[in-house]
Amino acid sequence: MAIHEILIQQLFNGLLIGSFYGLVAVGYSMVYGIIKLLNFAHGDIYMLGAFSGLVFLSIISPTIGAGWGSLILGMLISMILVGLVGVLIQRVAYRPMLKAPRLSILITALAVSMILYNTIMLLSSGRFLPFRTEISTESFFLGPLRLNETRVVLIVAAFALMFIMHMFITKTMYGKAMRAISMDRDTCQLMGIDVYKIIALTFFVGSALAAGAGIMAGVYYGTIHFYMGFLIGLKAFTAAVIGGIGIIPGAMLGGLLLGLLESFGTQIPFIGTVWKDVFAFAFLILFLIFKPNGLLGRSEKERM
């Protein structure tokens, strides 16, 4: 392949992977913005989404036939269900800890993450499960770009979800309430906003998006595994930091940027795919040193 073909191909791959990162990072960033919690369980929510997607798909496909219809239906059901799981986790594990020391709620989040992934590990016997969708994987060319139906639909769906999310945050009352709470929770309570309801809603939306990303990643890679959420949680955090944590468009931008950096990074000699994750982590450290507020963040320096 000529060099420009590789570049275009990597650009597409980077945007696709980056949009998964972005969708997970949005939930991460929203939760951080609203209750200042690094939700370690968010990567596991993504994993949970992929597994529940697989379960629903295997229920729906035989009745209405495999294909995009059943995939989208399964995805919607899983997103709602996993969103509700997110709300449940928030209610049981995080809400009682909102006034506790910061260390306690971080440990709680770790506990939730352990519970989620160990449950799935036991249920799936720790195996890699194939994510069969029976959608055509025949490739075709668009100029120099090699594509297939799945990848086109995935990237469109991912960007559509991001767009809907953006509209939700900027144009609806609920989105406005979320942004207000992230600025000052106590004042919001005085203004008559039901803070706990909005926090629950944030967890619902964030978890649903992560679940959606999980299912799309399942379709894209073809296999799912109980440990798949671990690294993506880390990368979502990196993406959120790159864009400016707590800022929703920043998280999306950060995700796309990280996806691009990774996919081009693997093309650099000596880095390759083996060091891909190390590369992403190095970026996190560099951003923390030189641009800790992220690309879209305000420049004020604030500490915990």
Partner 1 sequence: MAEIKKKAKTTNPFETIIEALFIFFEKKINMYAFIALAVGFLIIFPNVSSRFTQEIMTNLFFYVVVCLGLNIIVGYAGLLHLGFAAFFAVGAYTTGILSSRMGMDFWLTIPFSILAAIIAGLAIGFPTLRLRGDYLAIVTLGFGEITRLTIRNLDVTGGAIGLIGIQRPVFFGITLNQISHFYYMFFILAILAIIISYRLENSRMGRAWEYIREDEDAAAAMGINVVTTRLYAFIIGSAFGAVGGSFFAAKMTAISPDSFMFIHSVMFLMAVVLGGMGKIPGVVLGSMLVVLIPEVARGIGPYRLLIFGFLLLIIMLYRPQGIWPDKPAISAKE
| Contact pick of 5, 134, 184, 277 for partner 1 (by CB under 8 A) | 277
Which phi and psi angles does 126 have, rounded to 5°? Answer: 70, 15
> What residues pair up with 23 in beta bridges, in sequence order?
none
Which of 153, 161, 156 has the alpha carbon at shortest distance from 135? 153
Shortest distance, position 96 Cβ to partner 1, whole Å: 5
Contact segment (CB under 8 A) with partner 1 among 49-57, 58-66, 158-166, 288-296 equals 288-296
C-beta closer to partner 1: residue 35 or 248:
35
88 near partner 1, rule: CB under 8 A: no
Site string for partner 1, 15-54 (x = CB under 8 A): ---------------------x-x-x--------------
59 near partner 1, rule: CB under 8 A: no
C-beta closer to partner 1: residue 86 or 175:
86
Shortest distance, position 240 Cβ to partner 1, whole Å: 10
Determine the Cα–Cα distance for residues 266 and 47; give it in Å rounded to an integer: 24
Record the tokens describing residue 220, joined without a space. 């894209």
128 near partner 1, rule: CB under 8 A: no
| Contact pick of 1, 64, 114, 142 for partner 1 (by CB under 8 A) | 114
Instruction: Label residues 237-258 b or e (16+ Cβ within 10 Å = b).
Output: bbbbbbbbbbbbbbbbbbbbbb
108 near partner 1, rule: CB under 8 A: yes
Strand, coil or helix: what is 16?
A: helix
| Contact pick of 8, 66, 107, 135 for partner 1 (by CB under 8 A) | 107
Neighbours of 277 (CB within 10 A): 13
Strand, coil or helix: what is 274?
A: coil
Shortest distance, position 31 Cβ to partner 1, whole Å: 13
**Helix or strand (DSSP H, E) at 139:** strand 139-142
Which of 177, 215, 160, 283 has the alpha carbon at shortest distance from 45? 215
Looking at residue 92, what DSSP letter applies?
I
Residues lying near partner 1 in the complex (CB under 8 A) are found at 36, 38, 40, 93, 95-104, 106-108, 110-115, 118-119, 122, 230-231, 234, 237-238, 274-275, 277-278, 281, 284-285, 288-289, 292, 302-304
